[in-house]
Amino acid sequence: NLLTMGGYYATASAKKYYMRTRPFVLFNHSTCRPEDENTLRKDGSYPSGHTAYGTLLALVLSQARPERAQELARRGWEFGQSRVICGAHWQSDVDAGRYVGAVEFARLQTIPAFQKSLAKVRQELNDKNNLLSKEEHPELNYSR
């Protein structure tokens, strides 16, 4: 999968190079997901891979569904901030993760296989939108 692997590899070497200590380790606190802490302790904090992936995914989904771009961008931003709130990352880790996600998004634009997949996704979404129109299904909240 171009998105998953691209998001992972884009941060992996920087994490290994910097091996920045995570906030929850430095301050001896727990995170929002204590079951992940043993793994996180061994992995560098900078840059945030979750944020890079969340940013990348928000940008790709916005490209597929431009009418939902604002809410997708907000959700991508919130996803990164959750990493700070939970103590898994410093704010600068998240900021760098956003840059990495944006650069990876730009790189994907140059890959024909990605463009082909994106066109297929757009077509599938258009087909589904035609089936689930607002008029026919008022119970669906399209503004979320």
- Calculate mean pLDDT across residues 27-51: 94
pLDDT value of position 126? 79
Annotated active-site residue in 68, 89, 127, 137: 89
Active site residue 29: no
Annotated active-site residue in 22, 83, 122, 127: 83
Tokens of 32: 């929002």
By percentage, how much of the chain surpasses pLDDT 70? Answer: 84
**Total count of domains within the chain:** 1
Residue 119 belongs to some domain of the structure: no
Residue 131 belongs to some domain of the structure: no
Structure confidence by residue, pLDDT tens digits, 89-125: 999 999 999 999 999 999 999 999 999 999 998 888 8
Q: How many Å apart are CA 22 and CA 12, to the nearest integer?
A: 15
96 to each of 42, 105, 144, how far by Cα in Å?
A: 20, 14, 28
Residue 95 belongs to some domain of the structure: yes
Q: Name the residue range of residue 28's domain.
A: 2-114
Residue 90 belongs to some domain of the structure: yes
Active site residue 43: no
Residue 62 belongs to some domain of the structure: yes
Active site residue 83: yes
Q: How many Å apart are CA 1 and CA 5, to the nearest integer?
A: 6
Residue 73 belongs to some domain of the structure: yes
The reported pTM is 0.83
Q: How many Å apart are CA 87 and CA 81, to the nearest integer?
A: 10
pLDDT value of position 3? 62
Structure confidence by residue, pLDDT tens digits, 119-130: 998 888 877 766
Q: pLDDT tier at 144 (50, 70, 90 boundaries)?
A: very low
Structure confidence by residue, pLDDT tens digits, 9-31: 789 889 999 999 999 999 999 99
Annotated active-site residue in 20, 22, 93, 98: 93
Residue 102 belongs to some domain of the structure: yes
For the domain that residue 94 is a member of, what is the CATH number?
Answer: 1.20.144.10
Residue 139 belongs to some domain of the structure: no
Active site residue 89: yes
